[in-house]
Structure 1
């Protein structure tokens, strides 16, 4: 089965080098309209998007992420979990916060935010633009909150750099479907040996990649990652509580 949308999604790749130009007004407005139309849990619309154009703020976000391309060329967006707006609506209607501090409401807002970011990414790539998600803004969530002047009941979840690509990276191989899709019930039987072919794919990908010529495998990365504690990331739950989120 083929169509332009499937071709786009099946061939997507992360772009980390952008040409020195920003989005046109038409492109920017279109992407924000796409964000507005993203799916939303129970119509609560608990996501907001901040377009970061201030050079000093972009520089400080770059420092947080420790990634040189962040806030350099292209446009930088931060996708924010936003329960503040609905809190203010409730207060001005004479209501209490209700269940706004509950974990499940936070998860609904997180879902809204992720879906919005993915919508924008797909739309941008359909315009011939490139994108890179920036989970690295979580390296110092409290600093991000201060930089963006975020009120209580909000949380910066994802960054997204969008621009005109200045590179053509290879497509990074993903795990075979048999390891990620199941029917009816989860298949929890895993043997390291079953991943040997995929490890070889990843080894070849890194060996042949135009930049960052490292030799590695998927299983080696998993064995090495998720081990070292990242002090600021370990404080995320505390930051969420300080923001009034996930209290129940």
Structure 2
């Protein structure tokens, strides 16, 4: 196994950070790695906003459910799908298609994954923040996002002040299939995986969190997630056709 593969397999979310700045040359290296990610049709349909103003960071943190690590991490970046840039340079470009939302989301997610992997290779840690979509209208106004730009996720980066274990993943053959979709209904194997996840949560939380993977999924998917999102996408010029 290579050092790169081992680094990626040891990925875990860091939510407690040391009060130490990231060196400018390291930030430049992480940005370069992020920008080197694959891009569909070379559209480069992403923008990243680095929040360096502390007052602004506090406002963003409030919109993200007051998650403390959004304010305490050395860096907080907001990753956006961006077709506004394309219309600036090519006003006759046709935008608003649902496919373009997928392109922007995929391109931006690939950039984010490159960024976190590069950061971890430098001894840093981080956590992605989906809560930037909690109040997208307010966040867009705060950051001055024009039509054609939507915030997808945030990324906290910094020096870890904790050392959590990686979360146990699903058995590989439940996710990697050959020659077609293979439904899995092995209750015994799922029960074993549920037990692994329960043990992980109990250990990590000091016994305060007692749930399984299927229990967490049942809870998460029992409620509608951000029902305002479709209207927001339409207002920003996405998924119009």
TM-score greater than 0.5 by the shorter chain: yes
Write the mapping of 1:51-200 to structure 2, written as runs, cut at 5 A.
Answer: 51-66=50-65, 67-91=67-91, 96-98=92-94, 100-200=95-195
Q: 2:211 aligns with which of 209, 212, 216?
A: 216
Deviation, 1:32, is 1.3
| Counterparts of 2:220 and 2:205, CA distance in 1 | 24
Q: Answer yes or no: is the 8 Å Cα contact 1:169–1:210 preserved in 2.
A: no
- How much has 1:212 moved relative to structure 2? 6.8
Match of 2:90, SS state, is helix
Say what the alpha-carbon RMSD is for the aligned residues. 1.4
Structure 1 residues 33-91: Cα deviation after superposition (integer angstroms, max 9, x where no partner): 11221110001111111100111221122112221211223100011101000111112
CA separation in 1, counterparts of 2:174 and 2:69?
Answer: 33
Please give the TM-score of this superposition, normalised by the length of structure 1: 0.92
With normalisation by structure 2, the TM-score equals 0.95
> What's the offset of the Cα at 1:192?
4.0
In structure 2, how many angstroms separate the alpha carbons of the residues matched to 1:190 and 1:52? 45
**How far is the alpha carbon of 1:194 from its aligned partner?**
3.5
Does the residue aligned with 1:70 lie in a helix, a strand or coil? helix
List alignment gaps of at least 5 residues for structure 1. Answer: none
Shift of 1:226: 1.5
Q: In 2, are the aligned partners of 1:145 and 1:155 still within 8 Å (CA)?
A: yes
Q: Which runs of 4+ in 1 moved over 4 A?
A: none
